Structure 1
Amino acid sequence: MDQALSNPNIDSPVTSREQDAVRILLLIDGACEDVSDADRALPGLAEAVGVVRTQVRLQKLDFWLRNPDYLADELLTEYEKSGEEPLLELAGSILDSEEPEVRRYPMLRHHFGAYEPLDDALAVLRSAALVGRRRRGTVNRVRQHDYFLLAAGREVARQVIYEAPVFQYYVERTRLVLALADGLGGSQLKQRQYLQREYAEATRGERIASVTARARARLEKLRAQAVTHD
């Protein structure tokens, strides 16, 4: 279960392996694209029903899922570009609540941006035959990791939501994250996230700081401007 929900005073809550496994399963289920016959012909992938291509894309989507403050701030950026009122309302629904405090799981600043080891969570999913992984490249140099949702994984994802509706949060947030990331590959997502000062200037090996206070101030400014223009 989502342990941080019961203790909003935790500054930097951490997730358990089981929490990570559920979140990643729901993320892969929501973010995967169709697989090809060639994919299904590979060993262990006959039951594949979807795929998220590249670890970079999975990590960058997970960053917005784990950091609702950054997600809300990106929605404000999109609102400034388009003027679409629903974007301002979505950002407000996040920032007006305690979501940035109780749902935020900071990630480490790595060589190439936000990163959190997913090996343990993926090991849980792979051992249960819910997710498969394929490495592209050579024995000495892996160029890409692809993550395949297996039929049993899709079934378990549906079962999790039915038995524990609290996890519907991740389904809804994944949809929002994907809408924000529409058409962007992993490297493009990384470049976009680097535009955030707190993200770009984080010390390597330390957790990336929150932007909640700045985003809330920005929200109030944009709301005031919207009222003035009405």
Structure 2
Amino acid sequence: MAEFQQVADGRTTSVYQDAVRLLLLLSAASEPLREPPPSDAPADAVAVLHSQVLLQKLDFWLRNPDYLADELISRFERDGDHDDLNLARQILESDEPEVRSHQMLRFLFGAYEPLDEALSVLRTPGLVVRRRQGRPRRTAQHDYYLTLSGRAAAQKIVETVPELAYYVERSTLVADLAAGRRGSALRDIQYLQPEYADAALGTRIAGIADRARQRLRDVLIGLEREEK
């Protein structure tokens, strides 16, 4: 595990950047609590995101616009929604993949980044509460509860910090793209990318901007031919 920590220490974002990004992501992707709520849910919880795997895979798309755009192209090819193609085009025809990408580590179960420091920034003021499911010394799942204060903090960011509008919009898009699927399903999708699947354990997953841009060009050429 030390080798992963050594690589992770060369972080590409600050702890507070990570904390804000995770708060916005949890606000966008967490599910409203069912009634009655789970017995271990915090009294002021309003929503929950189940599993660290899901959080990590959502964060991967948020941190890697080239992979996000490529998956939007895949959804366009499957569903035919031109909004997805336009969004992919907006990302790939800009420098967003170069200036917004923050690569993640390749771990045993796919993309991974240590979250404890960033989550501690959110847990201390009670914005997010993490609960562990499982037996002592063997965690089966992490549940991330967004509290009323956390929801209010995320909304305040939306309303008062226009510089973070990018992460607000992208968090919503990532949550929509996930479509309620489990973390393991998103992991399987991401593993279809050879740069992701073939990355050595403990190294950062390389980007796919060039390949995604070529795929976009091919799709656009195909659409032009269909219109003629």
* Cα deviation code 1:206-225 (max 9, x no counterpart): 00000000001111111111
TM-score (norm 2): 0.91
Larger mean Cα displacement after TM superposition, 155-164 or 197-206: 155-164
* 1:121-160 to 2 correspondences below 5 Å: 121-160=118-157
- 8 Å contact kept, 1:40–1:47: no
Identity fraction in percent: 51
Aligned residues: 218
Q: CA deviation at 1:36?
A: 3.4
Report the Cα distance in structure 1 between the residues aligned to 2:222 and 2:159, rounded to whole angstroms.
Answer: 42
2:111 is aligned to: 114
Report the Cα distance in structure 2 between the residues aligned to 1:167 and 1:105, rounded to whole angstroms.
Answer: 16
Q: CA deviation at 1:82?
A: 2.8
* Cα deviation code 1:11-35 (max 9, x no counterpart): x981100000000000001111011
* 1:63-102 to 2 correspondences below 5 Å: 63-102=60-99
Secondary structure, counterpart of 2:204 in structure 1: coil
- 8 Å contact kept, 2:25–2:172: no
Q: CA deviation at 1:83?
A: 2.9
1:172 is aligned to: 169
Equivalent of residue 23 in structure 1, options 12, 21, 24: 21
Gaps of 5+ in 1: 1-11
Given residue 114 of structure 2, which amino acid in structure 1 is its aligned partner?
Answer: P
- 8 Å contact kept, 1:78–1:87: yes
* Cα deviation code 1:96-154 (max 9, x no counterpart): 11111111100000011000001000001001111001100010211000000011111
- 8 Å contact kept, 1:95–1:215: yes
TM-score (norm 1): 0.90
Quickly say closer, same or farther: Cα 1:156–1:78, change in 2 above 3 A: same
- Report whether the alignment pairs 1:62 with 2:59: yes
Given residue 118 of structure 2, which amino acid in structure 1 is its aligned partner?
Answer: A
Report the Cα distance in structure 2 between the residues aligned to 1:151 and 1:84, rounded to whole angstroms.
Answer: 35
Larger mean Cα displacement after TM superposition, 169-178 or 144-153: 169-178
Report the Cα distance in structure 1 between the residues aligned to 2:81 and 2:159, rounded to whole angstroms.
Answer: 33
Secondary structure, counterpart of 1:50 in structure 2: strand
Report the Cα distance in structure 1 between the residues aligned to 2:199 and 2:38, rounded to whole angstroms.
Answer: 41
Q: CA deviation at 1:41?
A: 4.6
- Report whether the alignment pairs 1:199 with 2:199: no
Secondary structure, counterpart of 1:203 in structure 2: coil
